[in-house]
Amino acid sequence: MYIVCTHCNCEYGMMDAYSFALCYRTSAEEVENPVQDAVETEEDTCEEEMDIEHPFLMLSTSASKMSTKKIMEEAGLHRKHTTNSPLLQGFRSYLEKKYAKSGIKHEVDNVSRWLHFVNPNEPSTSCIHNIERSMEFFRVIGASAASRATARNYMSGVKKFIAYVTSEDQLLEEDPSLRGSIQNFLKSMTEAQKSICRGASKKNSVGRRCTNPRECQEVLKLANHYFAELIDRANARNELEERDMTSVLFYLEALLILQHLQRPSVIQHMTVQQWLERKQYKSRSTDSARAAVITVKAGAQHMVVLNEVEEMWFDTYFRFIRLTFIKRIANGDKGYFFVSSKGSKIQNPTTDVHRFQERFNACLSTGKEALHFFEKVVTCESSLEDQELIKIYLRADFKGIESNHTQYMRAAMRVSELQRTWEEPSNSRDGQVPGTLKEKMSEKEISYKKIENMFKVELDSKGPTVKQCCEVSEMHAKYCYDRWRRQQIKCRMDAVIAHYKHEKPNLSQVYNYLRLKGWVKNVPSVEEILLHWEAREQPRREDNDG
């Protein structure tokens, strides 16, 4: 059974992985001033268009990957110029400076194929004048259902190429007529893109709406395996591609909104300082469940309660992915925990979640709908004791939480558990942890807890070797080893920041302090310490200014 794409109306099995990268995106808007907009609007849209890919399609067979390529080869569209030409080298340099580096080679190759189709003799900006031949290139690719997304993908690359041309005064001076041709070219390409989008089924493009709590959280289930792999790769310090990092961000946003039933404003206003000052809670019941408690001031004060696995996910995002994003912002770290891929404050978490749902062809649901179905279905089917806990979680204000902190913690943990069990069939709703993935995650946690008990994470403690971790669990030895190292690095970084809590240190001060401590392994980098110091102090300065 194939899943049908909601935009191009083709089955995923027919498409190669990269072809689906832009399939969820709608057609481009009309361009009033194409030359100017080619420069200005590309900055806003290219990062998404360039880096988003449906993770399920990484498992495509070689046969399905050949479908689009075969169509292009038969139509003579797959031949390309050498990318060593000055024009394409300049385009590559432009992409490297302006956009994330992931996918650049593919982008340059795509533009090279378009240039070859229009002018087989040499890569030249004169191809922009030949609008009819260029539109034929896009129409031939988009003629097949399996190639519509590929056509839009090529259009995205050509738009970036035109933005590059408009940014180079020398190219415009060599051919003054380019400006007028660019304007006409972009208008024609917009019409061609709309025409390709109209090929998709109107019925399917609406998207499925949720009808119960399980469907509200469907995207979390569909993305769970992919997400867990990304977390493992990040923790092993393997470099993630852009689309992978945004997927981790979107998953955590969806987790808070759809499962924890938090308001989008919590995501927008949660700060690094609040994350670093989170409290640890341990229940007194027989299960001795642990949780991390984050107090977020977003208008009113809210409390986010994460179980141990979720806390590890957030910590991975904070230490690796956020750190990458925040380096891209020119005016410095503002101290927000959740930031976009450009390093700025999240503007609309609901939109992020919606895009994530579309990416996985999941039921579309908002936080309000998730809350509605939780109250309508889960609450009614719960025991009286659980109903009381749900009422405490959903109705409590911050003063009420402070007055009965233990009861609220129980309520928050129980609500999250009830939500998770609704991701699985009804026979899993008895509180047992469902699914093989959850079992694997539990095995990982059990293994790590054993290591942590054997080797306490302290400033100057000696950590386990890989061999010692293997003695506990061969399957999860690398995970346990890496996680222990990360915990000690974090512990040491917090200690350095606390040492300089009143005034930001400079590079040499941090370097000398680290030398003084005599740490040889698991040492945080000076750059990382300074970035986290700045992130922690920024919200305090803003509060003082206010």
Render 287-299 in DSSP notation, one character per residue.
T--EEEEEEEEES
- For residue 209, count CB atoms less than 10 angstroms from its CB and return exposed for 0-12, middle for 13-18, buried for 19 or more: exposed
- Confidence at 164, pLDDT banded by 50, 70, 90: very high
Task: For residue 31, give every residue at least 6 positions away whose Cβ sits within 8 Å of its Cβ, in sequence order, or none.
Answer: 37, 38, 41, 186, 187, 190
Phi/psi for 501 (5° steps) reads -70, -20
In this predicted model, which residue has the larger pLDDT, 460 or 411? 460
Query: Which range, 30-44, 249-263, 495-509, is most confident?
Result: 249-263
Strand partners, 298: 300
pLDDT in tens, 64-80: 344 556 666 666 677 88
- 351-356: list long-range contacts, CB under 8 Å, 24+ apart: 352/249, 352/250, 352/253, 353/219, 353/250, 353/253, 353/254, 353/257, 353/258, 355/24, 355/48, 355/250, 356/219, 356/223, 356/247, 356/250, 356/251, 356/253, 356/254
Q: How many CA atoms lie within 13 A of 177 on its CB side?
A: 6
Per the CB < 8 A criterion, the answer to whether 3 and 218 are in contact is no
Q: How many CA atoms lie within 13 A of 281 on its CB side?
A: 23
Instruction: Extract the tokens encoding 121.
Output: 């003799």
pLDDT in tens, 395-448: 755 555 555 667 777 777 777 777 766 544 433 333 443 344 444 446 777 888
In this predicted model, which residue has the larger pLDDT, 45 or 270? 270
d(CA 395, CA 384): 16
What pLDDT score was predicted for residue 40?
A: 37
Q: What angle do CA 491, 497, 500 make, to 5 degrees?
A: 145
Three-state secondary structure of 70-133: HHHHHCCCCCCCCCCCHHHHHHHHHHHHHCCCCCHHHHHHHHHHHHHHHCCCCCCHHHHCCHHH
Which range, of 190-199, 242-251, 253-262, averages the lowest pLDDT? 190-199
What pLDDT score was predicted for residue 143?
A: 67
Which range, of 188-202, 332-346, 359-373, averages the lowest pLDDT? 188-202
Q: Which amino acid is at 222?
A: L
213-428 CATH choice from 3.10.20, 1.10.443, 2.30.30, 2.40.50: 1.10.443
Per the CB < 8 A criterion, the answer to whether 489 and 522 are in contact is yes
- Confidence at 222, pLDDT banded by 50, 70, 90: confident
What pLDDT score was predicted for residue 481?
A: 87
What pLDDT score was predicted for residue 41?
A: 39
Task: For residue 461, give every residue at least 6 positions away whose Cβ sits within 8 Å of its Cβ, in sequence order, or none.
Answer: 455, 488
d(CA 304, CA 293): 6
Q: Which amino acid is at 464?
A: P
**pLDDT of residue 253 exceeding 90:** yes
pLDDT in tens, 86-101: 999 999 999 888 875 5
- For residue 24, count CB atoms less than 10 angstroms from its CB and return exposed for 0-12, middle for 13-18, buried for 19 or more: buried
Is this model's pTM higher than 0.75 or not?
A: no
H/E segment holding residue 197: helix 178-197
- 521-530: list long-range contacts, CB under 8 Å, 24+ apart: 521/463, 521/485, 522/463, 522/485, 522/488, 522/489, 522/492, 523/489, 523/492, 524/489, 524/490, 524/492, 524/493, 524/496, 528/323, 528/493, 529/493, 529/496, 529/497, 530/504, 530/505
Per the CB < 8 A criterion, the answer to whether 67 and 308 are in contact is no
d(CA 239, CA 414): 36
d(CA 20, CA 149): 6
Instruction: Extract the tokens encoding 463.
Output: 């950590």
Task: For residue 474, give every residue at least 6 positions away whose Cβ sits within 8 Å of its Cβ, in sequence order, or none.
Answer: none
Sorted by where each begins, the domain ranges of the chain are: 12-205, 213-428, 436-545
Taking residues 124-153, what's their average pLDDT?
79
**Sheet architecture: strand order including 279-282:** 279-282, 290-298, 300-307
